[in-house]
Amino acid sequence: MASSTIDGASHANGDALQHNPTALFFAWFGELGMFCGSLVRTLFQRPFEGHEILRQMDAIGAKSLPVVALAGAATGIVMSMQMRDSMARFGGKSLLPAVIVFALIKESGPIITALVASGRVGAGIGAELGSMKVTEQIDAISASAVNPLKYLAATRVIACALMLPLLAIAADFCGVMSGWVALTLTDPISLELFLNNGFRNMTFNDLLPSTLKTAVFGMIIGVLSCFQGMRATGGTEGVGRAATSSVVLSSLFVIVSDVFLVRLIQIFFS
């Protein structure tokens, strides 16, 4: 009698939670916080899974390079074409190389890299871990005395944090070069003069913080994608939801975190 009462109360609480968006919101953040805490603890436990980290760095970094480079190049071309008319209108055409370089390196390159990575990498991690979850492969890994949180999640988060700054540098390079090509087609300018004018006032305080903040973006993408993938339920439909939510949440959190990171960079490096 007592057990049936307890079961009825638990079902009622579950139904109430399911129909309460606010409760679901805070419950999700609570689960995410516990996931992050467990993830941090596994980072200091042996074995360190170096081989798996290198494999994930190749899957996340090298295989994302063509897409990131193309996005960076397209951004540089569009920025060069749009800025040329605006700068000419206000008599600042000679400042166009500096505007392109500063805009790409300080903001456009890092955020474009993070958003492209959240689309490709986030969906891949969410779908991969989601399929492993619904097919009980993660349970099998646990049964074989391997910590799935360390082997599957920590390695991917570390790889994302390490590779995003390198991808951002590649996007910046492609953007600057494509910006010069687009500019020189209308107003011929040598590459040497373009780079001299563009980087004349650039300092490490402009370059390093903007590039290294992509490591934070990488951690956000890795953590959210692994979290959504490892909590997937409901078969193939659940795998699709995990992949979609990984992309959406990663992109959203990257944009929101960029607001705070830009402000912190202004405080400490201006």
Answer yes or no: do 146 and 183 share one domain: yes
Answer yes or no: do 38 and 70 share one domain: no
Q: Is the pLDDT of residue 10 over 60?
A: no
Domain that holds residue 3: 1-42
Span 158-172, average pLDDT: 96
Q: Return all residues near 141 (Cβ < 8 A) that are at least 6 apart.
A: 148, 151, 152
In the prediction, which pLDDT does 148 show? Answer: 87
Answer yes or no: do 105 and 233 share one domain: yes
Q: What's the CA gap between 188 and 169, in Å, rounded?
A: 26
Instruction: Please state the φ and ψ torsions of residue 58, each to the nearest 5 degrees.
Output: -65, -45
Answer yes or no: do 36 and 138 share one domain: no
Q: What is the CA radius of gyration of the chain?
A: 23
Answer yes or no: do 133 and 237 share one domain: yes
Q: Cα dist. 180→86, 99, 101, 168, 196 in Å?
A: 17, 12, 10, 18, 12
Answer yes or no: do 216 and 233 share one domain: yes
Answer yes or no: do 57 and 140 share one domain: yes
Answer yes or no: do 74 and 103 share one domain: yes
Answer yes or no: do 22 and 110 share one domain: no
CB atoms within 10 A of CB 185: 11
- Whole-model pTM: value is 0.89
Summarised one tens digit per residue, pLDDT across range 204-258 is 888 899 999 999 999 999 999 999 999 888 888 889 999 999 999 999 999 999 9
Coil vs helix vs strand at 146: coil
Answer yes or no: do 172 and 251 share one domain: yes
Answer yes or no: do 243 and 227 share one domain: yes
Tokens 């959406």 locate to: 248
Looking at the 3D structure of the chain, how many domains does it have? 2
Summarised one tens digit per residue, pLDDT across range 101-149 is 999 999 999 999 999 999 999 999 999 999 999 988 888 888 887 888 9
